[in-house]
Amino acid sequence: MTGSRQQDLIRRTTPLTEASFYILISLAEPLHGYGVMQKVMELSRNRVQLGPGTLYGALTNLMSQGLIEAVDGAGGERKKLYQLTEDGRLVAEHEVRRMEELSRHGHMLLGI
Amino acid sequence: MREVEMETRKESEWIFKVVWAWQDEREEKWLEEQAAQGWHLEKVAPFFYKFLQGTPSRVIYRMDYKRTTDQDYAEYRDIFTLCGWELVAEMANWHYYRISPENSETPEIYSNDHSKAQKYRRLLIGLVPVMVIFTTIFNPALSRGLLNARNQGDAWVYQAAIAFRVVIFLLLVYVIIRILVKIRRLESGKKE
């Protein structure tokens, strides 16, 4: 992937909302829509609660941006499984680094 | 007024109520008030609501707009069902969901304003065909009867038809502006 394409992708898709970020990192392994919701609640200890409308909307958006993709489930399951794409991983990693920087500067200037 | 209404109500009842497309939050609140009085939504038709009498309870109603002809409709429905929301009724792509909350928290189908704005964007797109159909059907120039009326000296019939069309058109424009204002308000806030 060329540098300018990467930059373009990141400019187009970030900053992610908190909900989208959590959904994205949850999909490092394939999950159903409902599985994503449970995983996000578990990770954030119920702080980030995803309503079905928000979850569905975020999944649709992330799909159309090419950050996640639908994969065929094992055993011909009816429900769609979602998974992070290469682009999605790139964007998620960028966001993690961006937030690390925020956090580092916060610690530095607030002396915590 | 309210007491008289209660006395005359039977086990099930249809209620007439005019609600505009941008007033879905008011409609949700109204349905919740009915449930608190023991009247639970059963069916929805344009401007009519059918309620069944039951136990007064705290029920949360939420409305969502989604085209039933969309390719991902089954997936959409699955997510709501799995999250515990019961689809009570569907009318003109408006979905009436309800849930009985487990605690004092109010469950929401949208957890942030950004995704809620998307619902109204879908509604706007859904209104485009309505707009086209209305302006076509009520076009007096397309009605032979009305053209005859004009030619035979009943010009007022023709003019009334044109006035009616203008009113409908302005109403649709007003609805669209109200929805745009709503989207703008939701999207101007911070993302979470």
The residues, any chain, with a CB within 8 Å of residue B37's CB and separated by 6 or more, are: B6, B56
Strand-by-strand arrangement of the B12-16 sheet: B12-16, B48-53, B39-45
**pLDDT single digits (tens) A14-29:** 888 888 999 999 999 9
pLDDT computed for residue B150 by the predictor = 67
| Average pLDDT of span B11-28 | 87
Reported as a pLDDT band with limits 50, 70 and 90, residue A72 is confident
Residue of A nearest to B63 (CA): A53
**pLDDT single digits (tens) B132-190:** 887 777 666 666 666 676 667 677 777 787 788 888 888 888 989 999 999 999 988 65
> Who among B75, B108, B118 is closest to A57 (CB)?
B118
pLDDT computed for residue B161 by the predictor = 78
**Token pair of A56, please?**
């569905």
Predicted complex ipTM? 0.76
Q: Is residue A55 a contact partner of residue A73, using CB atoms and an 8 Å limit?
A: no
Q: Where do the DSSP E strands lie in A33-99?
A: 68-71, 81-84
pLDDT of residue B191 exceeding 50 = no
Residues B115-148: b if buried by 16+ CB within 10 A, e if exposed: bbbbbbbbbbebbeeeeeebeeebebeeeeebee
Q: Which residue has the higher pLDDT, A110 or A6?
A: A110
> Who among A52, A79, A80 is closest to B80 (CB)?
A52
* Chain A interface disruption, residue of B62, B81, B83, most A CBs within 10 A: B83
pLDDT computed for residue B2 by the predictor = 46
